Structures are given as structure tokens and as C-alpha cells.
Amino acid sequence: MGSKRIEEDFEIKWLETFKEVSEYHRDFYGGQMISLSLSDLKKLVEGKFLAWSSGIDEYSEVLYLNEDAKKELNKIVKGESSC
């Protein structure tokens, strides 16, 4: 039930422009955008979780990186990546 429930309750999309973000938010009751700094990414690479509330404290959201993402981003942050 776990992942299927998430798929039914959430829509995750990758958008390319601020215009697309604006249009996407218009389809919903409300919306927010979070911008991450390099300092924020470093904290995520360290294994910390980014948490915030929305809907006037009705909903909680959490972002984290899986182990593969942490390893690769750690290389980039340290300047060791070949990307």
C-alpha cells in the first residue's frame, strides 16, 4: 500500500520555467516554491531532512536525499565530480 498510496495522493512534476511554475500553481487552491542554496544542499548531503509546513500548518512536507544522491552531490560539493 505504501508507494501506491503516495502515487494516488501526490503529483510530482519537473517544470522548466517560472512561467510553467505560475501556470502550475493556478491549477490548485494555493502553491509555494522553495529555493535551495548551496548551503541547503550541503545540509541535505550531510543526511539532514528539510521540513516545512503548508496550508496554514495543515500539512507537513519533508525532503531528503537517498544514499546515491548524497554520494554524488557530495562529490560535486567537494569539487570531485566529473560532471
Task: Match 539532514 to its residue by C-alpha cell.
Answer: 48
Whether the predicted pLDDT of 23 surpasses 50: yes
pLDDT, one tens digit per residue, over 24-76 is 888 887 788 889 998 999 999 999 999 988 767 678 889 999 999 999 998 88
Q: Structurally, how many domains does the chain consist of?
A: 1
Q: How far is residue 67's CA from residue 35's CA, in Å, rounded to a whole number?
A: 22
pLDDT, position 70: 93
Whether the predicted pLDDT of 2 surpasses 50: no
Mean model confidence pLDDT for the chain: 82
pTM of the predicted model, to two decimals? 0.68
pLDDT, position 80: 59
Q: Is residue 53 part of a domain?
A: yes
Domain containing 68: what range? 2-77
Q: Is residue 8 part of a domain?
A: yes
Q: Is residue 82 part of a domain?
A: no
